[in-house]
Chains A and B, each alone.
Chain A
Amino acid sequence: MAKIVIDPISRIEGHLKIEVVVEDGVVKDAHSTGTMFRGFEIFLKGHNPTDAQHYTQRICGVCPTSHGMTAVLNLDSALGVDDKIPDNGRIIRNLIQGANYIQSHILHFYHLAALDYVDVTAVADYSGNDPGLTKVQQFIGRALAAGDNSMLGPFWPRYEGDYRLSKAINVKAVQDYVEALNMRRIAHEMSAIFSGRIPHSPALVAGGATQGPTEDNVAAFRAKLTKLRKFTDEVYIPDVIAVAEAYSDHFEQGFGCGNVLSYGVFDLDGKEKDLAKRQRFLPQGIASGLNAGIFDPRKITEDVKYGWFSSGSGYPGDTDTVDDPNKSGAYTWLKAPRYDGNVYEVGPLARVLVAYLAGDTTAQKLVNDTLAHFGAPPAALFSTLGRHAARALECKMVADAMDKWLDELKPGEPVNVKTEIPDSAQGMGLWEAPRGALGHWISIKDQKIERYQCVVPSTWNCSPRDNNDQPGALEQSLIGAKVKDEANPFEVVRIVRAFDPCLACAVHVVSPKGHEKGRFQIC
């Protein structure tokens, strides 16, 4: 039996450590640990409530838009304007958020996940005239000429062994890695048209947005969106399929808890006050396996038995956050969110599956066609590759829908309503970050924030054991995984990254046998 500790887990957002115990090549136990704490819920107390949309964006530089959006929905409800948002404001919010979905999904697949599947060294003897590949080839050549592999940072060192793509596909994938850097930048530029700048847009405000549409802005947005839709259709989805074909055993890795949850995202209706009933492009819902259920926000709780917190467990609208780094038995800075007492996975897989089960014909066609390509049943979505496929298909669904939303903007009409801060109020914002269900809860007293709680996607997915000792979704997906080489545990990090963790931390893998330092090989 060997314990593998990966700390830091790189190519994620935040600080995460993963420990797994491997016996006879199979993971028997797993622990997920968040290793950083900042305390937003603590320092937001006493602030003007409208500071929340700006402060909470700074929880995450990759998905700030989602926190900004969830905060303004939270404030819309607390300030009593949640049924008064003008259509222009609702649509512009969706467009700013949609741009960030595309950016985040492209970033995740190419720049965070791909290096676990793609061998960059395949480009070492490239002799064509693609400028991106030429840069990579020269970069590798520089290290070769100097005889110094360390010059290959940040692409070296790495786990060695299980790279399976053909040379031609590897070269294509590296080319697409470079082009994807441009595409995710263009997605940010698209967001900035309405959001002013990104990351950390100042333009998400309670009551709507700060800038109305003009014909020029709509045309500029559409031009960038068209490039991104083409990239998604012609590059991103085909690359995911090419990786899946070579690594098809990863359809059988990382099953997880089997339950999914989506709060729903992209409002199609600005008049329904109850966010659990609001019509959304990607709908609210839960599912156990392939059986759909009804979502009720009052069933959300957070457990703290294994988190470094002295505050209690319970519904996020009623609880507090008090750090206690020396708490006995705890092993992470994360709380353990649960729904109706059970473990749920959130993220693109959850959203696409909930839409699929709700009868969304676009989701059904995309998913069915993809599964048919591999001869796989819908249950195969609950896997490492299923999560990547769902993310890519969702990227297409959102990008295509955004083109239609642009047509619904009405230049010259209002983009927001004026808001006033009440003496006291409660609010709740439910939304979906690219990584999954995101909820903010606020209590206002004397026009100040009395209490603010955020339950973020990666606390759902990367949570520790709960009060009943049930492992979190990622922990469960690691248990049962097959690990071929304990010194190069590709399977572990592939499973972790498929969830797209966002902790601003790293995973620690340590083998008691020690590990051989990976050797860089030029083919």
Chain B
Amino acid sequence: MADYYSPEDLNRFQEIGGEASELARKFFDYYGAVFSEGALSEREKALIALAVAHAVQCPYCIDAYTRACLEKGSNLEEMTEAVHVACAIRGGASLIHGIQMRRIAAKLSM
């Protein structure tokens, strides 16, 4: 295998239902329901998905939701801001643990 990641795998996602098909069916039904229009629009959901894709660093999701965002009418400015939201939360999540570090350090220090 030349690469661990292969773009073609994205189109083969459904094959995961080859085994444990009932679980796959439930997952894909749920997935479809999550992304359909609700209190949030499909466009907003695609932007959230794009941000999360960057947070979990999934190349398949980045590929799929970049296209989905464009096809839902978003532009690069909005998509870049969404990625910054992911980045800020990731960075913030590290940084907030610094308080824990400071608390422990304070307890241990004279």
Chains A and B belong together in one complex = no
